[in-house]
């Protein structure tokens, strides 16, 4: 009896300990994977709860469901907090897609098909090599007359294609890692900054600090810009990680994702974050014919504010 009670106590401690690692971003080396797979972990606790219900282990049942609930609230807090998507208004809208060429396992044609099917106004590519640059430019220049291209032979080649005029183009760096930044004119009086970022995966404490400094550099750049900004790219971090949450707080950015991919084996490392002067009216993942993840696409509009005295809707842009 004593041994059975001791085993139950150990299981309870383990269940709680594993759950709090992602919630508090604890640096526990052998449990770090639980951060990236928090969604799967949450569903695992749900399954365990029903299992303990079947075998009438009330204490373990309550512990499992409590851990599942904590993870659920934690993930929701880190995602887009809107319970429903904002209503589409009469303000200017722009759809933006992001792709990483290394994700295309079926070759050039599969990527091009996904880009055209996304019907995005602006398309960002990362890990663009000279071969990819030639193919994309030849096949997209008619549909996207404006582009900013930074072709490299390393993984940091980037390109942005746009249906809207590119007013300004700049590149800033963290160490030797480039970031593309374009200012795009989406209507007569409204511009939006698009920043393409590629963050190295944090595989240890030292690289975790590097990722934080990298994101700090991007946040400082965003804070210096007058127009609303949309930041996208491969961050190699889940959006509920401590690094991303801190980055969003610093840069005052919202998360486009309201949930994770329907494919539970796909951990979301690519993201689109946007200034609070904008609203995200839709967001989805893009996959090829084999359900392989290729990219993401979102639609954004200017957040309206009601002028109570004059009874009209005005724009936040350029204010």
CATH number for 140: 3.60.10.10
Residue 311 has pLDDT above 70, yes or no: no
Residue 86 lies in a domain: no
Q: How far apart are CA 99 and CA 286, in angstroms?
A: 9
**Domain match, 201 and 299 both:** yes
The pLDDT of residue 313 is 43
Read off the tokens for 97: 């897609």
Residue 105 lies in a domain: yes
* Partner residues linked to 318 by β-bridges: none
* 33-47, 131-145, 260-274: range with highest mean pLDDT: 131-145
**Domain match, 208 and 311 both:** yes
Give the gyration radius of the chain's Cα atoms. Answer: 22
If phi > 0 it is left, if psi is from -120 to 50 it is alpha, else beta; for residue 241 that is beta
Residue 132 lies in a domain: yes
Q: How far apart are CA 15 and CA 7, in angstroms?
A: 12
- Listed in sequence order, the DSSP H helices in 93-227 are 108-118, 130-140, 205-223
Residues 6+ positions from 275 with CB-CB distance below 8 Å: 222, 228, 229, 230, 252, 253, 254
Read off the tokens for 296: 């993401």
Least confident of 46-55, 86-95, 270-279, 308-317: 308-317
**Domain match, 225 and 147 both:** yes
Averaged pLDDT, 7-21: 88
- Identify which of 52, 31, 51 has the alpha carbon closest to the alpha carbon of residue 41: 31
Helix (H) or strand (E) holding 233, with range, is: strand 229-234
Segments forming the whole domain that contains residue 52: 2-78
pLDDT, one tens digit per residue, over 92-135 is 789 999 999 999 988 899 999 999 999 999 999 999 999 999 99
Read off the tokens for 140: 């997209």
**Domain match, 111 and 169 both:** yes
The last residue of one of the domains, among 10, 44, 78, is 78
**Domain match, 166 and 302 both:** yes
Residue 37 lies in a domain: yes
Residue 88 lies in a domain: no
Helical pair 58-78 and 2-24, crossing angle rounded to 10 deg: 0
Q: How far apart are CA 222 and CA 148, in angstroms?
A: 19
Residue 295 has pLDDT above 50, yes or no: yes
**Domain match, 60 and 102 both:** no
The last residue of one of the domains, among 78, 110, 141, is 78
Read off the tokens for 49: 């709860």
Q: Looking at the 3D structure of the chain, how many domains does it have?
A: 2
**Domain match, 71 and 105 both:** no
Collapsed DSSP state (helix, strand, coil) of residue 264: coil
Residue 126 lies in a domain: yes
**Domain match, 127 and 258 both:** yes
pLDDT, one tens digit per residue, over 62-99 is 999 999 999 988 888 887 766 566 777 777 789 999 99
Residue 20 lies in a domain: yes
**Domain match, 68 and 137 both:** no
Burial group, residue 39, by CB count within 10 angstroms (0-12, 13-18, 19+): buried
pLDDT, one tens digit per residue, over 150-191 is 999 888 999 999 999 999 999 999 988 999 999 999 887 789
**Domain match, 101 and 162 both:** yes
Residue 66 lies in a domain: yes
**Domain match, 179 and 274 both:** yes
The last residue of one of the domains, among 22, 44, 78, is 78
Q: How far apart are CA 310 and CA 50, in angstroms?
A: 57
Q: What pTM does this model have?
A: 0.85
**Domain match, 162 and 222 both:** yes
Collapsed DSSP state (helix, strand, coil) of residue 186: strand
């Amino acid at each position: 009896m004593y041994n059975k009670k001791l085993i139950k106590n150990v299981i309870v401690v383990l269940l709680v300990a594993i759950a709090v690692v992602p919630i508090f971003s604890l640096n526990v080396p052998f449990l770090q994977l639980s951060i990236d797979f928090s969604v799967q972990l949450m569903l695992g606790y749900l399954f365990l709860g029903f299992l303990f219900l079947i075998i009438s282990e009330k204490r373990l049942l309550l512990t499992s469901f409590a851990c599942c609930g904590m993870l659920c609230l934690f993930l929701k807090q880190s995602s887009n907090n809107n319970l429903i998507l904002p209503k589409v208004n009469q303000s200017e809208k722009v759809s933006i897609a992001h792709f990483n060429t290394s994700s295309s396992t079926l070759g050039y044609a599969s990527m091009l098909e996904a880009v055209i099917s996304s019907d995005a106004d602006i398309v960002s590519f990362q890990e663009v090599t000279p071969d990819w640059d030639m193919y994309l430019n030849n096949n997209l220049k008619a549909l996207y007359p404006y582009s900013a291209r930074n072709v490299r032979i390393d993984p940091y080649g980037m390109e942005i294609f746009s249906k809207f005029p590119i007013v300004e183009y700049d590149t800033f760096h963290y160490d030797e890692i480039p970031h593309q930044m374009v200012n795009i004119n989406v209507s007569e009086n409204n511009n939006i900054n698009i920043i393409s970022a590629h963050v190295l995966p944090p595989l240890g404490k030292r690289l975790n600090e590097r990722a934080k400094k990298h994101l700090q550099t991007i946040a400082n750049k965003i804070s210096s810009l007058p127009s609303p900004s949309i930041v996208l790219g491969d961050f190699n971090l889940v959006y509920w990680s401590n690094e991303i949450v801190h980055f969003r707080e610093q840069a005052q950015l919202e998360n486009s994702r309201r949930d994770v991919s329907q494919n539970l084996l796909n951990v979301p490392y690519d993201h689109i974050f946007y200034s609070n002067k904008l609203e995200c009216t839709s967001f989805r993942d893009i996959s090829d014919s084999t359900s392989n993840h290729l990219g993401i696409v979102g639609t954004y509009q200017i957040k309206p504010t009601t002028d109570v005295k004059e009874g009209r809707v005005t724009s936040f842009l350029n204010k």
